[in-house]
């Protein structure tokens, strides 16, 4: 899910397509189908918008590649294949934009790779383990372009790691559990850079946790259930920095919840339109 273009783009993974909505949740258009051809997907994952060139990058997880589109879904290019070589992937899970760079979470290779905006390979960091800078099935990633920080959700280790833009380790927080500042299978992450806030989807605990930029706990959003502002396996998350509104895709109930920056529930949309967002 991505909000940066002025529209809401939702990856509808189960239907192998991308859907576009306005901020009121009104459907505008969709594109994609299941397959391996250009513009087709196999279990697509995350999506990001690059505002200078007006490009969209879609993580085509099942095909182990990145596809690039214009803002209306017209295919522009692609890169990647299955493997552990430079620029290759095994189950890529998430991606995020830096200043001139695109970071990709390469889950089964337990590393982060980064590329220029046209897909040229620039480097990789990581490796499987529990030490600083190592990962166990990393999931989400987010970039603070003001402070030049990169946050990685280290899902298997139930922690968040913070790096500089060259992926040099800075600090970490989180352990396994259900208390504040603990996680069970964290997945998505989003930033409100203007306010210095970090939102983490704590999927196994059916909640979102809010931290300051250095990892100090601030608040919990949501709880387990089917009511307003409650979750069943939450997944993707995005922040509208112009308003502070937080959007959370609730995977099992096929809906997107909207909260204000204080955690107050504002509404839901896209009900019935999203399969495994």
Whole-prediction pTM:
0.87
Helices (H), ranges, the chain: none
Determine the 3-state secondary structure of 157 from DSSP: helix
The angle at the Cα of 13, spanning 137 to 136, to the nearest 5 degrees, equals 0
What is the reported pLDDT for 275?
A: 38
CB within 8 A of 243, min separation 6: which ones? none
**pLDDT tens for each residue of the chain, 277 residues long:** 555 556 788 888 889 999 988 877 788 899 999 999 999 999 998 889 998 999 999 999 999 999 999 988 999 999 999 999 999 999 998 999 998 999 999 999 999 999 999 999 999 999 999 999 999 999 999 999 999 999 999 999 999 999 999 999 999 999 999 999 999 999 999 999 999 999 999 999 999 999 999 999 999 999 999 888 899 889 889 898 888 899 998 888 788 899 988 888 888 765 444 433 3
Determine the 3-state secondary structure of 140 from DSSP: strand
Q: Dihedral of CA 180/246/3/36: which sign?
A: positive
Q: Which of 190, 205, 162, 203 is nearest to 246 (CA)?
A: 190
């Amino acid at each position: 899910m991505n909000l940066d273009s002025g529209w809401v783009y939702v990856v509808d993974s189960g239907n192998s397509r991308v859907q576009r909505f306005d901020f009121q949740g009104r459907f505008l258009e969709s594109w994609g189908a299941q397959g391996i051809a250009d513009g087709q997907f196999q279990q697509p994952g995350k999506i990001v918008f690059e505002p200078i060139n007006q490009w969209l990058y879609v993580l085509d997880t099942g095909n182990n590649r990145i596809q690039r589109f214009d803002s209306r879904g017209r295919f522009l290019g692609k890169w990647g294949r299955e493997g552990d070589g430079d620029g290759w992937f095994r189950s890529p899970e998430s991606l995020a934009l830096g200043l001139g760079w695109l970071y990709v979470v390469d889950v089964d290779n337990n590393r982060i790779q980064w590329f220029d905006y046209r897909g040229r390979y620039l480097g990789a960091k990581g490796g499987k383990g529990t030490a600083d800078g190592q990962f166990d099935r990393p999931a989400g990633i987010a970039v603070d372009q003001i402070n030049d920080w990169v946050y990685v959700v280290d899902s298997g280790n139930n922690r968040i790691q913070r790096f500089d833009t060259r992926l040099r380790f800075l600090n970490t927080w989180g352990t396994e559990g259900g208390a504040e500042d603990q996680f069970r299978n964290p997945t998505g992450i989003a930033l409100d850079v203007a306010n210095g806030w970090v939102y983490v989807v704590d999927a196994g605990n059916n909640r979102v946790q809010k931290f300051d930029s250095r990892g100090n706990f601030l608040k919990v959003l949501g709880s387990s259930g089917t009511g307003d502002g409650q979750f069943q396996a939450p997944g993707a998350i995005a922040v509208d920095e112009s308003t502070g509104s937080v959007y959370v895709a609730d995977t099992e109930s096929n809906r997107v919840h909207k909260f204000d920056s204080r955690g107050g529930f504002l509404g839901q949309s896209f009900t019935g339109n999203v399969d495994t967002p």
